[in-house]
Amino acid sequence: MAQNARVKQPAPIGGQRMGNRLSPAEAHRVLRHELEQLVAPWGLGPSDVHWLTQQMYFHSYDPGEIILPQGAHADCLGLIVQGQVAVHGGHRGAHTGVILLPGSTFGEAMLTEGRPSHATLQALTHCEIWFLRRAHFQALVDARRAERRAAGLWRWVGLGVVLLVVFLAGILVLSLPSTRGVAAIVPMAVGQWCQEQDLAWCAEPAWTLAANLAPDDINPLLALGTLHFEQGTLGQAEQLFEAAEVLAPESPEVYNNLGLIYARQGDHERAVSAFQEALRLEPGVAAVEHNLGVSLQALHAYEEALLHYQAALALGESQASTLVNMAVAYFETGQLDRAVDVAGRALLQDEDSALAYIVLGAVALESQQPVEALTNLHRATSLDGGSSQAYFYLGLAYKTLDQPAEAISAFEQALAIASDGVMRVRIRRHLNELYQSEEESRSP
C-alpha cells in the first residue's frame, strides 16, 4: 500500500485463510500486536494499549461498498475481522494492487500522523472491520505528554525539597546526636508529601533516611513496605515488614501487611495465620476481617469466609468488594437466593461491578434461565473485557441456547485471557465438545 497504509499479509499473524473470520481472541491478539508497535515512539505503554483496544468500534460493509476513498482523512487504524478488501492504487484507483484478508490492518500513518489515504479500499465480499479513531489516539498522546511535563516539574521541586531536608537533617544529626529520633520526623513528613504527590522516587529516599535516623521506629519501615507493595516489589516489601515485626512483635498492622503480601503471593495459608494474629492483637478491625475472608475463600473455606465478611459488614466495612465476595461464596455453597440478594446490594454501591453481574449470570444459568444470563454476562464483559470467568459463563449460556458459533467465540476469548490452570482445562473441554459437534454436523 502507499506510505500511509502499511499492508501486512495475514499469514504471519493468525494464519487466516480466505473467507475465514477472526475469533475475538485472534482479533484481540492481532490488535494488541499492532498497537504495541505503534505506541512506543509516542511514549505510550501497555495500559494505554489496553485502553485503546477498548475504544475500537465496529462497522460492516456490503460487497462493492467503498470503505475508504483515496485522499480521505479517516479514523483509521482498521483491522479486518471478516471478508476481503481490495486496495485500488494509482490515478483515481485505476488498478488493484493488493487484496487484504482477515487479520490485515491498514491506516497506521493516518492514525498516528493524520495523513490522507493514498489508495481506495473497497469491500469485495461482506466485510466486518474494527476501527480506532485518531481523535482517541491523539487525545491519549496529548494527555500523556501533559502528565510527563507535570511530573518533570514536580520531580525538580521534590528533588530540591529532599536535598534540603537531607542537608538540614545531616547538620542536626552531626550537631546533636541525641536528636536522631526527632530528626526523623522531618523526612517522614517529606516522604508523606511525596507520596501524596505520587512521587514514589522522592518518597523512598526520604523514608529511607527516616529509617536510618530512627532505627527503632517501625513507621518508616511500614511506609517503605507499603510503597514497595504498591509497586509490586513484594520481596522487598516482605523484608521491610519482617524487620518491623522484629521491632514490634505486638503490632497488628505489621501482621495485616504481611498477610497481604502472602495473599498476593498466593500463599493463603500463611496469609490466614497472619490475619488471625492481627485480629488477636486488635479485634474488631473491619478491613482485617475482610482480608481474612478473602484468603479463606481462596482456600475454599466458604462458610468460614462468610462469617468474616459478615463481621466486616457489621463493623462498618460496607464496600462493594466485601458484598460481591460474599455473593460468590453464597453461589459456591449453593445458596443461590442469597447470592442474588447480596450481588444486588453490591450493585447498589458499585453499579460497575463486573463480578456482581457474573454472579447474577451464573445464578441465572443454574436456574435454567440462559437468556437472562446472557443479559448479565454481556454487561460483565462490557465492564471488564479481561475477565475469563465472564466469557466462560457467556460460553455456557450460548451453549445452553444451542448457539455453537457464539459459544465457541466466547470460550476462545476466555481461553485467551485465562491464567488459572483449572479454568483453562474446563474451557478446553467445552471447546473440544463444540469443535467435535461442528465436525460431525459438516460430515455427510
Looking at the 3D structure of the chain, how many domains does it have?
Answer: 2
If asked whether residues 51 and 96 sit together in one domain, one would say yes
Q: Tell me: pLDDT of 92 over 70.
A: no
> Cα(428)–Cα(139) distance, rounded to whole angstroms?
40
CB contact at 8 A, 96 and 86 = yes
What does the pLDDT look like over 276-335, one tens digit per residue?
A: 999 999 999 999 999 999 999 999 999 999 999 999 998 876 688 999 999 999 999 999
* Paired strand residues for 209: none
Banded model confidence at residue 374, pLDDT cuts 50, 70, 90: very high
If asked whether residues 28 and 83 sit together in one domain, one would say yes
Residue 12's pLDDT is: 29
If asked whether residues 117 and 160 sit together in one domain, one would say no
**CA angle in degrees (0–180, nearest 5) for 326-327-328:** 90
202 inside domain: yes
What's the mean per-residue pLDDT of the chain? 82
Residue 238's pLDDT is: 92
If asked whether residues 34 and 99 sit together in one domain, one would say yes
If asked whether residues 123 and 204 sit together in one domain, one would say no
Domain boundary among 132, 155, 175: 132
388 inside domain: no
181 inside domain: yes
112 inside domain: yes
Distances (CA, A) of 24 to 82, 133, 212, 395: 11, 20, 54, 13
Residue 58's pLDDT is: 80
If asked whether residues 51 and 113 sit together in one domain, one would say yes
Say which DSSP state 117 is in: P
If asked whether residues 58 and 113 sit together in one domain, one would say yes
Prediction pTM value: 0.60
Strands 85-89 and 120-123: antiparallel
What does the pLDDT look like over 324-341, one tens digit per residue?
A: 999 999 999 999 999 999
294 inside domain: no
If asked whether residues 32 and 74 sit together in one domain, one would say yes
If asked whether residues 128 and 151 sit together in one domain, one would say no
If asked whether residues 72 and 155 sit together in one domain, one would say no
**Cell representation of residue 226:** 507499603
SS3 233: coil
31 inside domain: yes
Domain boundary among 196, 215, 234: 215
Ranges 17-21, 23-27, 139-143, most confident: 139-143
If asked whether residues 74 and 127 sit together in one domain, one would say yes
Q: Tell me: pLDDT of 257 over 60.
A: yes
Domain boundary among 80, 105, 132: 132
Mean pLDDT of the 86-97 span? 68
Q: What is the CATH number of the domain that holds 69?
A: 2.60.120.10
Strands 85-89 and 95-100: antiparallel
**Cell representation of residue 144:** 500523556
Q: Tell me: pLDDT of 254 over 60.
A: yes
What does the pLDDT look like over 407-425, one tens digit per residue?
A: 999 999 999 888 888 889 9
If asked whether residues 105 and 159 sit together in one domain, one would say no
436 inside domain: no
Expressed as residue numbers, the domain containing 203 is 147-215
> Cα(251)–Cα(246) distance, rounded to whole angstroms?
10
**Cell representation of residue 40:** 512506543
* Paired strand residues for 71: none
Banded model confidence at residue 11, pLDDT cuts 50, 70, 90: very low
Residue 430's pLDDT is: 93
Least confident of 165-169, 201-205, 271-275: 165-169
SS3 444: coil
420 inside domain: no
Mean pLDDT of the 41-67 span? 82
Mean pLDDT of the 108-124 span? 84
CB contact at 8 A, 13 and 33 = yes
The DSSP-derived string for 218-285 is: SHHHHHHHHHHHHHT-HHHHHHHHHHHHHH-TT-HHHHHHHHHHHHHTT-HHHHHHHHHHHHHHS---
